[in-house]
Every structure is written in structure tokens, then in C-alpha cells.
Amino acid sequence: MCPPDRTRAKSSTMAETGNRPQSKPEWAMSAREKDAARRAEQGLPPKKSKRWIGWLAVLLALGAGGGWFVQSGGLADYRAERAAAEAEALAEEEARAARAAIVQIAPYEVLELRPRRLTETLKITGSLAPVRQLQLASEVSAQVTDVTLRPGDKAALGQTLVTFDSETLQSALDQAQATAEATRVQLVQSEADLARTENLVERGLQAVNTLERARSSLDQLRATLTAQETLVANARRALDKAVVEAPFDGVIATRSVEPGQIVGAGAPLLTLVDMSSLEVEATAPVAFAPELARGQAVDLTVEGFGDRRFKGEVARLAPVAIEGSRMLPVYVALDNAGGELRGGMFASGRIELEAREGGLAVPEAALRYDVEGAHVVVIAEGKAERRAIETGRTWEGGALIEVTIGLAPGDLVVIEPLPELEPGDTVRLLPE
């Protein structure tokens, strides 16, 4: 007999078992093997390993690094580029420091010293008013027939401004004169009658009381005539006042009557003002009274005229302060020959209380102080220089400080604080 074909038998046996390898006992399996066995029982394919992904990332990183290193020319080139960048940054920093060492100063931050007039002043404010103004009033009781000017019109000395009804006034005068004349005739007759009565009484032909009555009648006539003569004088004066004339050259400010209006004596007619000379009605603290005097110069500005300056002087000082305010009325006169200014305009200015010629002074902001005392910074030959000074009194209400020692005409003094500027700094003055 032939021996059995073991190979075929083995293949047949494996086919029968579905090509399944011989499995380990469960206690000997790893976690991965257990998971593979479960997936096999469920008919699922085994999991693919992802370890190759990590190795691929490492290879890519090494490749990129190698490429960068090749492109940069190697470590030597890298160090050269880094050194060049550091040198460029250092040069830029040095240039920046050099620029910072030069302090730029604007023209308004320095003052070239010049001898000047130093003054101490007192500020005042007030309104303008004409020095001479007059309200013309009627001196008669009559009807107005004509008013020649209106507000704003100029009037010349002696010019007719208002005319009253002169015919009525003339009639009143004629009547008063006629009445007085009749009384005067009666008086003459009464005097003759008195003389005859006295003669009869002396002869005993009339009683004494008749003489007394005659004398009393004569006295009454005399009194009546006196009153009537007064009426005649008043009527004549009224006729003379039938025309109102300008008492001085001026401008009509107000007009209170119109033609045809009947007014009584004392009624306002026109207001006439002389605009050639004005005054500022101002006030000052009464504490300054000892320093104020007539004739002191005043520098004024007036609303509507911008920075234009007007010159005036103290004309009058009130003898007492305003009650409750301790303010003293001060009147400042100024010329207005051109007629530009108007009454009621607001004005402000300064009264010059004291002055000194040829002084050197700097603004208070120019002074600096350290352990050595007061000093200023002077620009000389393009450098900031510390200059010790001695100061005198203040002027302009403390805005200026007089310098008695340490500065000379022509010195260029820094008048702004400029904390970044120190003595020894290089300075460049900017153009105006």
C-alpha cells in the first residue's frame, strides 16, 4: 500500500478550518491581539498602524531644515548677516542720539534784551460818555412850529433848532402891554384925585377917612401895575425864546417834540452832545487812591476797534468811594476829534502809575532756580549757557522782573520753561 499524502491532507485540513491560524489562549494575548481577535469574530478588517505618519513628519521637518540651511549659505553666512543688522541698528541709535542732542528753539521762546520803558499800571474798565451834553428844554408855553434837526444831525453854534408860534406870543405881549398901559393911566388919575382929596381934608371940606380910602386905592393900582409890568416882561421874554438855538457845536442825540405839538415851560425838546471830547467813567479800588492823580497817562482799547490804542489821561477823581463797594470813580478824558468813538462804547485800559526808562526786564517764566540761586538760560554761539542774575522790583503787575546784574543789552534769553533744555546743550534757532 502507498503511504498517505500528508501534504494534501494538511492542505485539506487547513481548508476545512477556513485558513485560521492556531490562536493563543486569551490570558496570553496582548491588548492589540485581543482587539484583533474581536474584530475577526465580528468580520471586520484589522486596524492599520499610524506609526508611519509620525516618522513621515520627522522626515519632512529634517528635510525642510536642511533646505533652509543650504539656502542661507550655512552658519557662517547667518552670523555675518546678524552682525550687519546689529551694526546698522547701532548706527541708527547713534544718529538718533545725535539728533536729540540739538535742541530746536522757536523764535517766540527767546527774547533779545533791549533797554525799555518799565511801567506799573492799574487796569480799569468803563463806558464812554460825552464830557459836555445838554438837554434843551422849552422856556415858553406855546405851540411848536418847526424842529430842524433829527438825532445824528450835526448842529453848529447859534443854529436854529426849534421854533415856536411867535404870532401867539406876540399877541400875548401886546395884550399885556395894553393892560399895563391902562392901569398906568388909572394910576395917574388916582394920584391927581389923592392930591385934591388931601387939599379938601386940610381945608375941612372932607372927612379924614376919605383921604385914607384914596390912598388905599392908589396903593392897589400901583401893585396892579407892578404885576402887569411883570407880565409884560414875561411875555417879551417868551417872544425872545420863541427860537431855540444851539449853545455849542455838537450832535443831536435825542428829539422829544414834533411840529404842531403844544408844550409847557420846562418840557424837554432836544439833547445836544459834544462828541469832540469823551471820557471813560471807570472805577478803581480805593486802596489805589494815593497812587492816582490828575494827568496820569492812560492806554485804552475800545470795543469795535480791535487792538487799536487810544491815548487818554486821568481828568477827575471822585472825593469819596462808592458806598458798599470800596471802589473810587475815576474819569479818563480822551480826544475824539475824528468823531469815530460813540457814547456808551465799552473801553478798557491801564493807568500808568509809575514808570522808569532804560530798564532791562525778563518775563517771570524765564527765571530758573537751583542751589546757587536765580539764573536764566542765555543762547550764545549756538550753546545754552547758565547765567546767574540779580533781580530788582517787579513791573506790570508782576509779569516782568527787572534784572540789575548778570545781563546786558543784546543777550538772547530763553523765556519759556523748556525743561528739556540744559546748560551746555547745542541749540538751533528755528526761522520765523
Q: What integer pLDDT is reported at residue 43 of this predicted model?
A: 67
Rounded to 5°, angle at Cα 402 from 396 and 404: 165
Q: What does the block give as the cell for 105?
A: 528753539
Q: What integer pLDDT is reported at residue 341 of this predicted model?
A: 94
Taking Cα atoms as reference points, which of 344, 391, 340 lies closest to residue 364? 391
Q: What integer pLDDT is reported at residue 19 of this predicted model?
A: 44
What percentage of the chain has pLDDT greater than the value 70? 81
Q: Strand locations in 98-240, DSSP E?
A: 102-105, 110-112, 116-137, 142-147, 154-155, 160-164
Paired sense of beta strands 426-429 and 102-105, if any: parallel
- Are the CB atoms for 221 and 190 separated by under 8 Å? yes
45: confidence class by pLDDT, cuts 50, 70, 90: low
CB within 8 A of 336, min separation 6: which ones?
Answer: 275, 276, 277, 278
69: confidence class by pLDDT, cuts 50, 70, 90: very low
Q: What integer pLDDT is reported at residue 73 of this predicted model?
A: 52
pLDDT exceeds cutoff 90 at 134: yes
Q: What single-letter amino acid sits at 53?
A: I
Q: Which residue has the cell 489562549?
A: 25
Q: What integer pLDDT is reported at residue 297 of this predicted model?
A: 94
pLDDT exceeds cutoff 90 at 396: no
47: confidence class by pLDDT, cuts 50, 70, 90: low
Segments making up each domain of the chain, as ranges: 26-71, 105-115+360-429, 122-128+271-357, 166-241
**Domain 122-128+271-357 CATH superfamily:** Efflux pump adaptor protein, beta barrel domain (2.40.30.170)
Q: What is the per-residue pLDDT across 159-199, written as a single tens digit (0 to 9) for each?
A: 999 999 988 888 888 898 999 888 888 888 888 777 777 77
Q: What is the per-residue pLDDT across 198-219, written as a single tens digit (0 to 9) for each?
A: 777 777 766 767 777 878 888 8
Q: What integer pLDDT is reported at residue 94 of this predicted model?
A: 64
Instruction: List the end-to-end C-alpha distance of the chain, in Å, as a whole number.
Output: 134
Specify the fold of 105-115+360-429. Answer: 2.40.420
Please compute the mean of the pLDDT values over residues 275-279 and round it to a whole number: 93
Q: Please provide the average confidence, as pLDDT, over all residues in the chain.
A: 83
pLDDT exceeds cutoff 60 at 18: no
Please compute the mean of the pLDDT values over residues 303-322 and round it to a whole number: 94
Specify the fold of 166-241. Answer: Helix Hairpins (1.10.287)
80: confidence class by pLDDT, cuts 50, 70, 90: confident
What percentage of the chain has pLDDT greater than the value 90? 51
Q: What integer pLDDT is reported at residue 100 of this predicted model?
A: 54
Please compute the mean of the pLDDT values over residues 104-113 and round it to a whole number: 93
Q: What integer pLDDT is reported at residue 173 of this predicted model?
A: 87
Element (H, E) at 180: helix 166-202
Q: Which residue has the cell 401867539?
A: 168
pLDDT exceeds cutoff 90 at 8: no
pLDDT exceeds cutoff 80 at 4: no
46: confidence class by pLDDT, cuts 50, 70, 90: low
Taking Cα atoms as reference points, which of 366, 384, 389 lies closest to residue 423? 384
pLDDT exceeds cutoff 70 at 124: yes
Among 15-19, 174-178, 314-318, the range scoring the smallest mean pLDDT is 15-19
Q: What integer pLDDT is reported at residue 317 of this predicted model?
A: 96
Q: What integer pLDDT is reported at residue 259 of this predicted model?
A: 95
Q: What integer pLDDT is reported at residue 212 of this predicted model?
A: 78
pLDDT exceeds cutoff 90 at 152: yes
